[in-house]
Homo-oligomer: A and B are copies of this chain.
Amino acid sequence: MNYAKTAGELLAKVRKVHPLLHHITNYVVMNDCANMALHIGGSPVMAHAHNEMEEMTGIASALVINIGTLDNEWIEGMKVAAKKASTRGIPIILDPVGAGATKLRTQTALNFLNNYPVGVLKGNLGEISVLAGLGGEVRGVDSASGGAEAKICAVEAADKFNTVVAVTGKEDYISDGKTTLCVSNGHKWLSAITGSGCCAGTVVSAFCAVGDNLVTASACGLAVYGIASEIAAQNANGPASFRTAFFDTVYNLTPEIVEKHARIENA
Query: Which of A's residues lie within 8 Å of B, judged by CB?
Result: 18, 20, 22, 26-32, 34-35, 37-39, 43-52, 55-56, 59-60, 68-73, 98, 101-105, 139-143, 192-195, 237-241, 243-249, 251-252
Q: In the complex, what residues of B have CB within 8 A of residue A27's CB?
A: 27, 30, 46
Contacts of A38 in B (CB 8 A): 142, 192-194, 239
How many copies of the shown chain assemble into the complex?
A: 3
Task: List, in ascending order, chain B residues with CB within 8 A of A49's CB.
Answer: 70-72, 104
B238 and A252 form a contact (CB under 8 A): yes
Kindly list chain B residues whose C-beta atoms are within 8 Å of the C-beta of A194: 31, 34-35, 37-38, 44
Q: Which residues of B contact A34 (CB under 8 A)?
A: 28, 194-195
Query: Whole-angstrom distance between the alpha carbons of A251 and B240 in the complex?
Result: 9
Which chain B positions have C-beta within 8 A of A238?
39, 247-249, 251-252
Cβ-defined contact, A139 with B59, below 8 A: yes
B247 to A43, Cβ gap below 8 A? no
**Is B48 in contact with A101, judged by CB distance below 8 angstroms?**
no
Q: Are B239 and A247 in contact (CB under 8 A)?
A: yes
Chain B residues within 8 Å of A70, by CB: 47, 49, 52
Contact status A28-B30, CB under 8 Å: yes
A26 touches B39 (CB 8 A): no
A15 to B80, CA, bound (A): 42
Contact A72 to B51, CB < 8 A, known contacts A28-B31, A192-B39, A238-B251 = yes
Q: For residue A75, which residue of chain B has the nearest CB?
A: B49
B residues near A247, Cβ cutoff 8 Å: 238-240
Residues of B within 8 A of A44 (CB): 140-142, 194
Are A241 and B237 in contact (CB-based, < 8 A)? no
Cross-chain pairs A/B with CB under 8 angstroms, 5 sampled? A28-B46, A35-B193, A45-B98, A51-B104, A240-B245
Chain B's closest residue to A74 (CB) is B49
- Other-chain residue from B26, B32, B47, B245 in contact with A69 (beta carbon distance below 8 A): B47
- Residues in B neighbouring A35, C-beta threshold 8 A: 193-194, 239-240
Cα-based distance from A98 to B43 in the complex (angstroms): 12
